[in-house]
Structure 1
């Protein structure tokens, strides 16, 4: 895989044998933990918060992801983490380093298999296009934060090609005005970017091996991921903030978007020191 190959737009070759083995391991691991998590959720056991972290961590290893973490995750919670979004694979990567639940568009709840997994992780489903329901959705998010849950939000509202960060939508930042135990809610920007494949910089040509956007079909994309070699994905935690440092929720959203965009740009341009893994 050379720079010359990358410039032609060619795709790296995967191994069907590797893909079949990873798929079998992924399904076995998932089917093993689903009833445990379902029981933990039904009985409201503390395990329901810890098990997803373990699940995603093992899934990341099965998929061959080398997750490199930069910066420090804000803790203790509750924290509203806001991140860029380029793929369904972001769930596995962020879920392996952040104990929390995701905020997802309502359509995800109806997806076969993955919708059920999202519900087991206590995902908060929102109608992103329903302006009239913003207050209700804000209250739902607020109730989860009041209960001490960390939430992970993708404010772009859709997935990108992984090479840039789209503008953040501001509606759900209204929850940042909430006070938890008398103190303003902590908001932490997080950047995520796939950067290397088998140690070689991915570049624009290979980044779609991770990024899932536009009219891409899910099954062929996921199979490609299973067949490829080791992929490095960088996660950068930026300094946490609260809304008290900003004049409005839009100003807070703009600040978070800039921080995340700068982190993505550093990662995809290779301005960070070469990753050593995590």
Structure 2
């Protein structure tokens, strides 16, 4: 059964990816509306093919620029979030060098940061600020790494300064919010995930990508709960550390609640 799942999913995802890459490249090159719509459609196909079912609580930011502060569990998070609404991401620079993954990240207009260079934070903040001023919604995995899916690591506030830079460099009418978002993988094959099951989904530490990817392609349906928190208004004088801490506390609480109830409300 697992082999059948693996090859049938590959048979769908490979041609869809090969068709989507040149279409997205052209959309980005022309700066057309397709640059947001194509990744949304692509990742919805990916989620449907992999059997990923989304349980959504709350509402994503609409009609305004947003810096979304989220926990990070797996490479699957990219597919799950991108299937919800048009988004871009902030990622470590080495992701841009990974075969295929780096190409897909660049095509989704990911902002890369070199964490080995302290001065790169300012450059990244400027790039994110420009995108926010253009009305984009940018996801920052604020822990700075992936976790094991059972706890939320402390959020880093350095890149939250991008929202303040966006306000400083824009007209007074720009409305930017910090939007907390909690990602919790709650079930597989219809059964609640136990701690021992987490490594099959959570991708962290020194885990190899290829075997983990094969496990997802071969495995059963996954239910993930996505909980949008309360938007945090962000003005030029807002304390970024305090705002980041508030987002972290809400995300941690939402993850705890989701793990306790096991995502009982049906998927969307």
Q: Give the shorter-chain TM-score range.
A: over 0.9
Q: Following superposition of structure 1 onto structure 2, how do residues 142-161 of structure 1 map, counting pairs within 5 Å?
A: 142-161=129-148
- Give the superposition deviation at 1:207: 1.6
1:89-109 residue CA offsets vs partner (Å, 9 max, x unmatched):
100000111311111010000
1:162 aligns to what SS in structure 2? coil
Conserved? CA contact 1:176–1:184, under 8 Å: no
- Give the superposition deviation at 1:244: 4.0
Work out the CA distance in 2 between the residues paired with 1:140 and 1:128.
Answer: 15
Find the counterpart in structure 2 of residue 187 from structure 1. 178
Q: 1:247 to 1:122 in 2, by over 3 A?
A: closer
Conserved? CA contact 2:47–2:53, under 8 Å: yes
My pick for the range that moved more, 263-272 or 19-28, is 263-272
My pick for the range that moved more, 198-207 or 83-92, is 198-207
**Does residue 20 in structure 1 map to residue 7 in structure 2?**
yes
Find the counterpart in structure 1 of residue 150 from structure 2. 163
1:207 aligned residue (195, 198, 213): 198
Find the counterpart in structure 1 of residue 212 from structure 2. 221
Find the counterpart in structure 2 of residue 249 from structure 1. 240
Find the counterpart in structure 1 of residue 98 from structure 2. 111
Unpaired stretches in structure 2, ≥5 consecutive residues: none
- Give the superposition deviation at 1:21: 0.8
Find the counterpart in structure 2 of residue 7 from structure 1. none
Work out the CA distance in 2 between the residues paired with 1:60 and 1:269.
Answer: 24
Find the counterpart in structure 2 of residue 81 from structure 1. 68
1:183-204 residue CA offsets vs partner (Å, 9 max, x unmatched):
4521100001110011110121
1:144-202 residue CA offsets vs partner (Å, 9 max, x unmatched):
11122111110111101011110011110111223254245211000011100111101
- Give the superposition deviation at 1:69: 0.7
Find the counterpart in structure 1 of residue 249 from structure 2. 258
- Give the superposition deviation at 1:245: 10
- Give the superposition deviation at 1:132: 2.1
Conserved? CA contact 2:39–2:82, under 8 Å: yes
Find the counterpart in structure 2 of residue 138 from structure 1. 125
TM-score (norm 1): 0.91
Conserved? CA contact 1:203–1:268, under 8 Å: no
| Root mean square deviation, CA, Å | 1.6
TM-score (norm 2): 0.94
Find the counterpart in structure 2 of residue 69 from structure 1. 56
Q: Matched residue pairs, number? A: 264
- Give the superposition deviation at 1:276: 0.9
1:95-141 residue CA offsets vs partner (Å, 9 max, x unmatched):
11131111101000000011000011011101224222322221111
